[in-house]
């Protein structure tokens, strides 16, 4: 597994997809998803220039972050139990997976204790699949308004995971719906809320996601190999 070569290839594909959509390549950031991969893989990717890493599990993230000695930025992208938020306070720069007010309130409490503000994305279950986390599209605006009242949490945008398809084109309507939902919420001009980030697209469908407006793509296997 040549992590450096994989990264280079993906960044080229990201730029191509962005240009196809008339967007600058610099508008999209790559989150390298390192779940189940060792600290050494993160260090190797960081040496190749990768800055942001995404993790799904609190325990794994805390252990790995202690082992990675080069400076990297961690994003939390998995389902987060409220009682574990404390362990990642100050460690992550963004949480992509906030899907309920009680979790946002706990993040607010924990980041408040360290005198910091946590950037978060609201995860939306656009497809409505029962197996997926995320608030419904219908409830997203209310949730964003409620979270906007919290002093130590700042909403930066939305995140989604569409159903899995063999054909990435099939995911396009879900990515589009997330973009349209973000535009609707942005039009409300809620104080303290930015709708500038759209976290969508993984190894199999990131090009389509970029064409539909992704600003953060979360890519694991295409960088680090199968898990």
Ligand X SMILES: *Cc1c(COP(=O)(O)O)cnc(C)c1O
Contact residues toward ligand X (CB under 6 A) are: 33, 35, 56, 77-78, 161, 202-204, 218-222
C-beta of 111 vs 224, nearer to ligand X:
224
What's the CA gap between 129 and 108, in Å, rounded? 28
CB burial of residue 138 (10 Å; 0-12, 13-18, 19+): exposed
Minimum CB separation of residue 205 from ligand X in Å reads 9
Minimum CB separation of residue 27 from ligand X in Å reads 19
Query: Coil, strand or helix: which one is 32?
Result: strand
Minimum CB separation of residue 112 from ligand X in Å reads 26
Identify the CA nearest to 199 among candidates 219, 185, 184: 219
The whole-angstrom distance between residue 217's C-alpha and the CA centroid of its chain comes to: 7
C-beta of 60 vs 180, nearer to ligand X:
60
- Shortest Cβ contact with ligand X: which residue? 220
Minimum CB separation of residue 21 from ligand X in Å reads 20
Tokens of 88: 């990642």
C-beta of 163 vs 192, nearer to ligand X:
163
């Amino acid at each position: 597994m040549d992590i450096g070569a994989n990264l280079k290839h993906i960044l080229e594909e990201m730029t191509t997809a962005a240009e196809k959509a008339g967007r600058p390549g610099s508008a999209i950031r790559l989150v390298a998803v390192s779940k189940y991969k060792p600290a050494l893989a993160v260090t190797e990717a960081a040496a190749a220039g990768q800055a942001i890493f995404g993790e799904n599990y609190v325990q794994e993230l805390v252990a790995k972050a202690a082992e990675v000695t080069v400076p990297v930025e961690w994003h939390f992208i998995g389902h987060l139990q409220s009682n574990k938020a404390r362990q990642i306070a100050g460690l992550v720069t963004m949480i992509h997976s906030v899907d309920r007010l009680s979790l946002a309130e706990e993040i607010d409490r924990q980041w408040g204790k360290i005198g910091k503000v946590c950037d978060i994305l609201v995860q939306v279950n656009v497809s409505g699949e029962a197996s997926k986390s995320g608030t419904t599209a219908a409830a997203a605006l209310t949730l964003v308004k409620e979270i906007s009242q919290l002093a130590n949490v700042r909403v930066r945008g939305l995140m989604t995971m569409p159903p899995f398809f063999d054909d990435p084109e099939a995911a396009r309507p879900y990515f589009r719906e997330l973009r349209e939902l973000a535009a609707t919420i942005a039009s409300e001009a809620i104080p303290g809320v930015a709708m500038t980030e759209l976290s969508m697209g993984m190894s199999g469908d990131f090009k389509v996601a970029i064409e539909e407006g992704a600003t953060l793509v979360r890519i694991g296997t295409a960088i680090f190999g199968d898990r």
